[in-house]
């Protein structure tokens, strides 16, 4: 029924569009007997109506075409939806490059050839998203047989089904031009990663868009510094290729036509080399349009060409409409066409022309893309423009020289020479990202959505007006006032979260529940020594908490278990940790995380119940898990449970994410002795709790580390009720922000950065 409605809607739109085409013609005879002035007015009216009707016709035609495309895709998507939640077997053709996801799988888009329950395949043609364990031969054009669990995708997603692969077999390797491109890429990646860090892992991303060698820390730094567009194939990469070929041909004396033809041929070859997946094709189209409109001396036609390309891409694949990447590509191209020249003139009043030219392009892209990013990203980079100004000159060198290393793979000494030459600009970008992302106030956390987009858009518009200097003095003054207010707020925030942060918190605290969102991060200090129990989900949020509390050294880091909301912020403390206590390790990514901490100078200790030690004048003891646990070998129920007391620290029990079953076993083990002053409530206040444990603890303060507006309903009402019954006051980070606890004359004191809710 949905397919029929969509098809009927498309047919109606086509009919209305065809009718509108004739509306201007119907008005033409009406000016016949009018006088000269009336005829002129009528002519003007006809022209206005003709343009308005033309826009209406275009919108209706595009809408109807999109409707037909969606209707045509619905039967296949409906067949895919039947597999939701089931085990499936699929034969798929890889249609994109693969990238490592947060779960360690290689994720890629693919076209299905057949799909069904294991052993019951039936033909179907549709797009799916597949994640598999790392397997050789996953290249564009390869055919795989995948077995795994299926989950229906959202209607707004291009892929109709997501397959979490448990097993993958390469049925047929990539052949022809795709095989040549895959071999060339693999040879270059191997050559690049033999070079030293920093820069080696980043070079394949800069040159051919292969980001599999980019570490998590570098990826976070690239995001925070606004340089992430350089780590994957984007319009910038494509424009570098076009500009380089255009310049080389012009040096050889080639005419404009030859330059354009060869530049476009080179762009096509580059697209094949980096895999012609939809995002790359989109970037290539945008780059080709932008470069052609400028290089042909017709920038005024660029917007019309851009509009045509956007309409064509949306008709060909309507699901681009829900892609942030598509919106950012189109916006950045439009910014290059419309804003770069006015900004160049404006910046030219303040700085030398070469510097203004280098800054105008990234600034134009930033002011236009910033509001779009604010719609879906909670992190806004405040160092993006200077970081791009520093890094951008190196990007063309790394891209072009890296491609030369690819193309000369048949002559290894020459390829090695080019790869080594490309490593230097890649290292420059790597260091730029790490340094700028570590600056105080490098990023600001916002609530993603229309309000954030409106604020960022207002600031962007004000910045453009100040630089371009329009004729209206009132508009210039208002924009300058907006910029001054924003800078004052940002400067105050940087001071309060940086050098002045310790002044805003009382000095008597010994326990700090960090406000890091949906996750755990608790600081404990005694006699100048500091422990951190878990690191939360986000390195930036943890850095802010460390700055607020004046923490520069972590003597003891306890990783209770390896869920992302407990260890995701670990990069923020890498290099400042003395000893790491951790529970059972079962996955490769967990071992890699611990290895990075060890390589930065930390000592690793795999702990179990009975181990103990000192933190300053305080003593700590591990109560859970048992050595070589059988019942709970890993995960929440194997969380490290720690008690600590003395040396100014209230007697505290930290429960990690321990569930009710393991809480009962802990209580019955006899390791819980006496009452406590503070309990860190397990699993962010989920309902998986054992009431008798909290009744036995009788802790006056129950710290709940939880994210505001989380999707889990944490803390649950029943958990809050059992805490109240045990005489414990719930101290929630989502309501109070940073929560600080300490002792004064034996009395437990509580501070927080936000006032507790009334009642």
Question: The tokens of 330 are what?
Answer: 């189109």
**What is the spatial distance between Cα 220 and Cα 627, in angstroms, rounded to a whole number?**
35
From residue 698, alpha-carbon distances to 379, 693, 732 in Å are 40, 9, 18
Q: 58: which residues sit within 8 A by CB, 6+ positions away?
A: 311
Supply the DSSP string of 181-195, one letter for each residue.
HHHHHHHHHHHHHTS
Helix, strand, or coil (residue 148): strand
Higher pLDDT, 30 or 170: 170
Residue appearing with tokens 């950012």: 328
% the chain with pLDDT above 70: 81
Strands, E assignment, 375-528: 379-381, 443-445, 511-513, 522-526
pLDDT digits (tens, 9 = 90+) for 209-261: 777 777 777 887 887 787 776 766 666 667 677 777 877 887 888 777 787 77
Task: Identify which of 21-25, 289-293, 430-434 has the greatest average pLDDT.
Answer: 430-434
For domain 501-751, the CATH superfamily is Ribonuclease Z/Hydroxyacylglutathione hydrolase-like (3.60.15.10)
Q: What is the mean pLDDT of residues 167-180?
A: 80
Q: What value does the mean pLDDT take over residues 195-209?
A: 83
Out of 138-152, 172-186, 500-514, 589-603, give the one with best mean pLDDT: 589-603
pLDDT at 513 over 60: yes
Smallest CA-to-CA distance from 419 within 438, 437, 440, 397 is with: 397
Q: Which CATH superfamily is domain 82-174 in?
A: Nucleic acid-binding proteins (2.40.50.140)
Determine the pLDDT at residue 511. Answer: 92
State pTM to two decimals.
0.60
pLDDT in tens, 489-498: 766 666 665 5
Cα dihedral 576, 577, 578, 583, rounded to 10, equals -170
Going from the C-alpha of 575 to that of each of 571, 596, 645, the distances in angstroms are 9, 9, 27
């Amino acid at each position: 029924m949905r397919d029929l409605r969509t098809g009927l809607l498309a047919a109606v739109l086509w009919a209305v569009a065809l009718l509108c085409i004739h509306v201007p013609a119907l008005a033409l005879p009406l000016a016949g007997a009018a006088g000269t002035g009336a005829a002129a007015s009528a002519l003007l009216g006809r022209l206005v109506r003709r343009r308005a009707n033309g826009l209406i016709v275009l919108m209706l035609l595009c809408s109807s075409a999109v409707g037909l495309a969606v209707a045509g895709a619905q039967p296949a998507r409906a067949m895919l939806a039947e597999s939701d939640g089931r085990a499936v077997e699929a034969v798929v053709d890889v249609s994109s490059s693969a990238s490592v996801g947060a779960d360690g799988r290689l994720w890629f888009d693919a076209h299905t050839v057949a799909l069904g329950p294991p052993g019951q395949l039936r033909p179907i043609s549709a797009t799916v998203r597949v994640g598999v364990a790392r397997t050789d031969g996953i290249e564009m054009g390869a055919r795989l047989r995948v077995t795994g669990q299926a989950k229906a995708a959202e209607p707004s997603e291009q892929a109709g089904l997501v397959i979490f692969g448990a097993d993958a077999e390469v049925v047929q390797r990539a052949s022809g031009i795709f095989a040549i491109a895959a071999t060339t890429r693999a040879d270059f990646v191997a050559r690049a990663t033999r070079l030293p860090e920093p820069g080696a892992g980043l070079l394949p991303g800069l040159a051919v868009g292969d980001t599999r060698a980019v570490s998590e820390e570098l990826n976070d730094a690239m995001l925070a510094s606004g340089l992430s567009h350089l780590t994957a194939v984007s319009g910038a990469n494509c424009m570098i290729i076009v500009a380089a070929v255009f310049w080389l041909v012009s040096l050889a004396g080639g005419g404009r036509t030859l330059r354009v033809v060869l530049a476009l041929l080179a762009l096509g070859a580059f697209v094949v080399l980096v895999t012609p997946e939809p995002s790359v094709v989109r970037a290539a189209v945008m780059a080709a349009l932008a470069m052609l409109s400028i290089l042909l001396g017709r920038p005024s036609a660029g917007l019309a060409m851009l509009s045509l390309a956007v309409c064509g891409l949306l008709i060909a694949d309507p699901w681009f409409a829900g892609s942030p990447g598509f919106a950012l590509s189109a916006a950045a191209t439009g910014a290059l066409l419309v804003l770069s020249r006015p900004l160049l003139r404006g910046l030219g009043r303040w700085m030398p022309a070469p510097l203004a030219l280098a800054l105008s392009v990234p600034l134009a892209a930033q002011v236009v893309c910033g509001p779009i990013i604010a719609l879906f990203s909670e992190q806004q980079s405040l160092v993006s423009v200077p970081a791009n100004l520093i890094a951008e000159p190196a990007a063309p060198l790394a891209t072009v020289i890296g491609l030369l290393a690819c193309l000369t793979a048949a002559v290894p000494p020459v390829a090695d020479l080019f790869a080594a030459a490309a490593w230097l600009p890649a290292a420059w970008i790597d260091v730029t990202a790490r340094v700028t992302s570590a600056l105080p106030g490098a990023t600001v956390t916002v609530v993603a959505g229309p309000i954030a987009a409106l604020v960022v858009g207002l600031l962007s518009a004000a910045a453009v007006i100040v630089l371009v200097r329009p004729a209206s003095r009132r508009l210039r003054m208002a924009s300058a006032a907006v910029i001054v207010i924003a800078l004052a707020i940002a400067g105050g925030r940087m001071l309060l979260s940086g050098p002045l942060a310790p002044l805003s918190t009382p000095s008597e605290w010994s326990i700090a529940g960090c406000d890091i969102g949906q996750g755990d991060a608790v600081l404990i200090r005694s006699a100048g020594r500091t422990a951190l129990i878990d690191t939360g989900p986000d390195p930036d949020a943890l850095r802010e908490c460390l700055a607020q509390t004046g923490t520069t050294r972590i003597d003891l880091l306890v990783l209770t278990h390896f869920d992302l909301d407990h260890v995701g912020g670990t990069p923020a403390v890498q290099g400042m940790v003395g000893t790491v206590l951790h529970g059972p390790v079962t996955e490769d990514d967990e071992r890699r995380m611990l290895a990075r901490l060890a390589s930065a100078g930390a000592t690793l200790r795999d702990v179990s119940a009975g181990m103990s030690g000192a933190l300053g004048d305080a003593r700590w003891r591990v109560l859970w898990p048992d050595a070589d646990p059988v019942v709970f070998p890993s995960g929440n129920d194997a969380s490290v449970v720690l008690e600590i007391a003395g040396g100014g620290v209230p007697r505290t029990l930290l429960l990690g994410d321990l569930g009710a079953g393991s809480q009962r076993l802990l209580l019955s083990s006899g390791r819980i002795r006496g009452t406590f002053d503070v309990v860190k409530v397990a699993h962010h206040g989920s309902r998986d709790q054992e009431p008798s444990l909290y009744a036995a603890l009788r802790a006056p303060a129950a710290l709940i580390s939880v994210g505001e507006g989380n999707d889990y309903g944490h803390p649950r009402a029943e958990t809050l009720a059992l805490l109240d019954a045990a005489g414990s006051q719930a101290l929630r980070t989502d309501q109070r922000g940073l929560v600080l606890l300490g002792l004064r004359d034996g009395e437990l004191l509580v501070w927080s950065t936000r006032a507790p809710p009334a009642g």
